[in-house]
Structure 1
């Protein structure tokens, strides 16, 4: 009897190994600091009656994630921007916006606003699967940026606030950076198996992830996503659908990503308030990469 029980106990221990199933998740410690470089390029092409307009947006940034607490629900991270540069260029009008926070001598209002983003702490609660449970601090950041702008006209101030809330409110930041963290399944999986999830936010994104390979040092995951972009403001609206492919290399010890590359293509139409309801054929090609450039532990 004892021998039979011992065999059953040993089988219970080795069954997950025999099945090859792995529980993919974050394994972070309080005091972990991750420094990430972000590079993004987006090309927007619109076909007007008079010709084609192409606008290219380029973004480069350095982001920091610091683990300030861990508990049974997950982790509390403190997120902040360390560097930012933004270049928006039109094939018909040239440079529309050029900002680099590493050039403090530039005193124009746009540069001041973007420099105000730096080192502002945003708290982010992270589930072990990578889902962002909540974000706190984004709305305060928006008010800080408005104050820096120094706009006295109430209507212009309200217009600026509405625009900034779309990008830097707590909810907007959660939606923007969840693709960087939320790609793990909630159940154990084998190499070659797939799972699905959705990102938060107003724009539906359905993701299918696959565990491509797993080793003692690195985890390789790939994903295919169906994306939708539907926006509407005072200037007009956008209605696009597309596909995005993502490849991720993660650290097997911490679960934090080492490299991520996402490429997307979306097509549809846009409208401009000044031109009525006429639909403008529109395509957007995007490429965004994240690279872990430093990981350290601080007390």
Structure 2
């Protein structure tokens, strides 16, 4: 074999190796499929004032259904539904604060239970790009109405509650919340070890740097994020900054998450209404996992 032919053969082998090393990262879902995921979260909030420590523990479990309704050139139209919702909040100073489980029978006097039972009775329509970025969502007004219609409230109280719930379950808020589960892929092919960036907006802002760590029968992806949380409730404002780490395993063919673990620590201050001159040191530590359910 001549030197010229040998050079071309080596060049071809090298080009093939580079080509094979590149991976398309994105969703490749089948119309008609229903994908199921369980979110399990534990959040610890610690506030320190003088010599007293107030510790609040939030436990949340949610089962979510994603039904692939339609595929376009760049996106999927998906029916999304909360299948079940559990949340329990306890305080070392006040004891149990909140306890809702939509999998159990809801009593007539359980206002919180009725609200979150309504959460499980509405399907939303998501338009999600193949990178996982959610660009639109339809049905949030129906969702909010189903959460409050069974409470027997007068029209004024109902409208006040509806406006309050739009902050958490309105279109933009829910897009940002769901996007933190789906939006992790770049709009280009990458090699193992390559990184890319995106951002989450909303009450919790995040500047994310993702990396393709390895590829076997699955995609193994990690992410390091700088986060900033601003939460403004009726009686309390929290302003915190911190970091977040994510480890995600997703199906190499569909791109759908098989297993994910997200941990974060944020520190800052809380300000109580009527005590604006007092800044309460506050730390929030969170761990969230996602796994499919049957």
TM-score (norm 2): 0.91
Preserved CA contact (<8 Å) 2:122 2:146: no
Query: Gapped runs of 5+ residues in structure 2?
Result: none
Deviations 1:51-94 (A, max 9, x none): 11111110111110010000112101111011111101010111
8 A Cα contact 1:22 1:188, kept in partner: yes
- Superposed displacement of residue 202, structure 1: 4.8
- In structure 1, the residue matched to 2:75 is 74
- The answer to whether 1:110 aligns with 2:112 is yes
What secondary structure sits across from 1:224 in the alignment?
Answer: strand
1:203, CA displacement in angstroms? 3.6
Residue of structure 2 equivalent to 1:42: 43
Displacement of 1:113 in angstroms is 1.1
1:237 counterpart residue number:
237
Aligned equivalents of 2:128 and 2:62: distance in 1?
Answer: 22
Change (3 A) 1:162 1:45: farther
Task: Please give the root-mean-square deviation of Cα atoms over the aligned residues, in Å.
Answer: 2.2
Query: Which residue does the alignment assign to 1:297?
Result: none
| Corresponding pairs, count | 286
Structure 1 residues without counterparts, runs of 5 or longer: 295-299
What is aligned with 2:188? 187
Asked whether the 8 Å contact 1:178–1:200 carries over to 2, the reply is no
Match in the other structure for 2:151: 149
Q: Tell me how far 1:166 sits from its aligned partner.
A: 2.1
CA offset digits 1:207-256 (Å, max 9, x no partner): 001101112x2110000111101122431311100100000000011110
Q: Cα offset for 1:159?
A: 4.0
C-alpha distance in structure 2 between counterparts of 1:16 and 1:122, whole Å? 44
How far residue 140 of structure 1 moved from its aligned partner, in angstroms, is 2.1
Within 5 Å, which residues of 2 pair with 1:126-145?
A: 126-145=128-147
Q: How does 1:78-97 map to 2 (within 5 A)?
A: 78-97=79-98
Is 1:222 paired with 2:209?
no
Whole-Å separation in 2 of the counterparts to 1:24 and 1:116: 36
1:244-273 alpha-carbon deviations (Å, 9 max, x no partner): 000000001111010111000000001011
Structure 1 residue aligned with 2:23: 22
**TM-score, normalising length: structure 1:** 0.89
Indicate how the Cα distance of structure 1 residues 16 and 135 shifts in structure 2: closer, same or farther if over 3 A, else same.
Answer: farther
